[in-house]
Chains A and B, each alone.
Chain A
Amino acid sequence: MTSSPLEMVVIGGGLVGSTLAWGLARAGLQTTVLDGADLDPRASRANFALVWVQGKGVGKPAYALWSKASAERWPQLAAALLEDTGIDVSLNQNGGFSFALDPLELETWQAEMQDIVRETNGRAAPFEVLSGAETRDRLPFVGPDVVGSIYSPLDGHVNALRLFRALHMGMKKRNVDYRAGYPIERIEPVRDGFRLTGPKGTLVAQRIVLAAGLDNNRLAEMVGLHAPMKRSKGQILVTEKCAPFFDYTSATMRQTDEGGVMIGDSEETHTAAHATNQDISAVLANRAVRTFPVLGDLNIVRSWTGQRVKPLDGLPIYEQSAAHPGAFIAVCHSGVTLAANHALVVAPQIAAGALSHGLAAFGSQRFHASQTA
């Protein structure tokens, strides 16, 4: 093969890969995206679409602040996508509630939020702790079982389907070469970059970004990086579309801009199966109806599961390989929340050739340290 190496190849075309590829193209790089197969475990097609900061980063202040910064940057991303593609991703940042159904739950969350404030020297996102009555004053349709809530004004959500479409349209507009169904089996560092081999053939790239979700675990080792992942299956119920009644969001329940109510936030750590689990559906539905009794009349029209992309310690991993410079990795659980950081901060840094010291807390070396400790 004599063709010249591709300038920049992003392996993975999910939310993280698309966001970075769009950002890299905006930074002026000729970018290629190699996406996996339709039936791969695609977190991007199962996600809950939250821009969520509340409660993130207990004991990990860098993560709390990184999430907060991305939420603050989100309006800028939404505006840039609108300008590039004409698509409004329906960003709503009216704030988010965590509804407690017993006092201990509320106490635990409050303590965690206070820990985050302390660990970040007060720079964390603001929050309020509301009693049950105060919660119902703001949201009259919250049920009597809710004993209190945490409210944080920075939290929000988007329309995840339109976000994904906007990113793909944006990539197209900026001449990103997107190749669907192009799995990569092997990455070999070579003199002028990286040789990428899969069933569709072999390519050589000057630089690469690993953004392949769960598959980063396998790919990272090929370029001297590490991405140990934990198993985390989530399940979501979706109701029929209905007239607006909840113009905020919560980690367990949100009403989309189009009216459907999504109910979620389960986690199973023992299974890789795709099938939904009816026992978990029942728990999700029960909790949602206790929070908002009006949901009891609604029909559930969809239910699905997805495997979260969750690094072992829950934090994102961003790193350029020391052994093989030019190979970057970006893997995280919160592809929606962190999209603004990825497009507007991480992608320009990768384009410029180096990640900033600010991202050092998210290097994969931390996994070595924890293994030897």
Chain B
Amino acid sequence: MLRRLREVTDPVTFSFDGCPVTAERGDTLAAALLAGGIDTIRHSVVGDQPRAPYCLMGVCFECLVTVDGVQNRQSCLMEVRDGMVVASQRGGRQVLQGNR
């Protein structure tokens, strides 16, 4: 489990699978999730194994979450915002949503 080196001074609040999480403004979403004590953010597409952010620099694609309804966002490459609605993922991205 990770913990913050410094107390949060300028908080923002977002939700992960419906639960409120507080983070420091300016955090990446991946860092905010990890600091919020969330260690499984999705299950892998092929093996259905638990996954968490890994490289934190946009390369490994492990940190994918659904953000405000958009699937497969790389949480390490986006800044956390107040009111963000973040959801874990299981299985592959649906391509046919909204097309049928």
User: Which residues does A use to contact B, with CB under 8 Å?
Assistant: 141, 240-245, 258-259, 293-295, 297-299, 301
Identify which of B61, B91, B94, B96 contacts A141 (C-beta below 8 A): B96
Please list 22 pairs of residues, one from A and one from B, whose beta carbons are closer than 8 Å in the complex, sorted by A's number: A141-B96, A240-B61, A240-B64, A240-B72, A241-B92, A242-B92, A242-B94, A242-B95, A243-B93, A243-B94, A243-B95, A244-B92, A245-B95, A258-B45, A259-B46, A259-B92, A293-B99, A294-B99, A295-B95, A298-B95, A299-B72, A301-B61
CA distance A289 to B45 in the complex (A): 23
Q: In the assembled complex, which residues on chain A have CB atoms less than 8 Å from the CB atom of B92?
A: 241-244, 259
Contact B95 A294 (CB under 8 A): yes
Contact A241 B96 (CB under 8 A): no
Q: In the assembled complex, which residues on chain A have CB atoms less than 8 Å from the CB atom of B95?
A: 242-243, 245, 294-295, 297-298
- Interface flags, B70-100, vs A, CB<8A=1, else 0: 0010000000000000000001111110010
Output the least CB separation between B75 and chain A (Å). 14
Contact B61 A294 (CB under 8 A): no
5 new A-B contacts, CB < 8 A, other than A241-B46, A243-B94, A298-B95, are A242-B94, A242-B95, A258-B46, A294-B99, A295-B95
Contact A259 B99 (CB under 8 A): no
Q: In the assembled complex, which residues on chain B have CB atoms less than 8 Å from the CB atom of A294?
A: 95-96, 99
CA distance A174 to B93 in the complex (A): 40
Closest 4 CB pairs of A and B: A242-B93, A259-B92, A243-B92, A241-B45
Identify which of A141, A259, A295, A297 contacts B45 (C-beta below 8 A): A259
Identify which of A243, A295, A298, A299 contacts B91 (C-beta below 8 A): A243
CA distance A258 to B46 in the complex (A): 6
CA distance A295 to B45 in the complex (A): 18
**Number of contacts between A and B (CB, 8 Å)?**
39
User: Which residues does B use to contact A, with CB under 8 Å?
Assistant: 45-46, 61, 64, 72, 91-96, 99
Q: In the assembled complex, which residues on chain A have CB atoms less than 8 Å from the CB atom of B45?
A: 241, 258-259
Contact B72 A141 (CB under 8 A): no
Identify which of B46, B61, B64, B93 contacts A298 (C-beta below 8 A): B93
CA distance A259 to B92 in the complex (A): 7
Q: In the assembled complex, which residues on chain A have CB atoms less than 8 Å from the CB atom of B94?
A: 242-243
Determine the residue in chain B with the shortest Cβ distance to A261. Answer: B95
Q: In the assembled complex, which residues on chain A have CB atoms less than 8 Å from the CB atom of B99?
A: 141, 293-294
CA distance A293 to B72 in the complex (A): 18
Q: In the assembled complex, which residues on chain A have CB atoms less than 8 Å from the CB atom of B72?
A: 240, 299
Q: In the assembled complex, which residues on chain B have CB atoms less than 8 Å from the CB atom of A297?
A: 95
Q: A258-B45, A299-B72, A301-B61 are in contact. Are A240 and B96 (CB under 8 A)?
A: no
Output the least CB separation between B85 and chain A (Å). 19
Q: In the assembled complex, which residues on chain B have CB atoms less than 8 Å from the CB atom of A301?
A: 61
CA distance A20 to B46 in the complex (A): 30
Output the least CB separation between A253 and chain B (Å). 13
CA distance A244 to B93 in the complex (A): 9
Q: In the assembled complex, which residues on chain A have CB atoms less than 8 Å from the CB atom of B64?
A: 240
Output the least CB separation between B45 and chain A (Å). 4
Output the least CB separation between A27 and chain B (Å). 35
Q: In the assembled complex, which residues on chain A have CB atoms less than 8 Å from the CB atom of B61?
A: 240, 301
CA distance A278 to B8 in the complex (A): 43
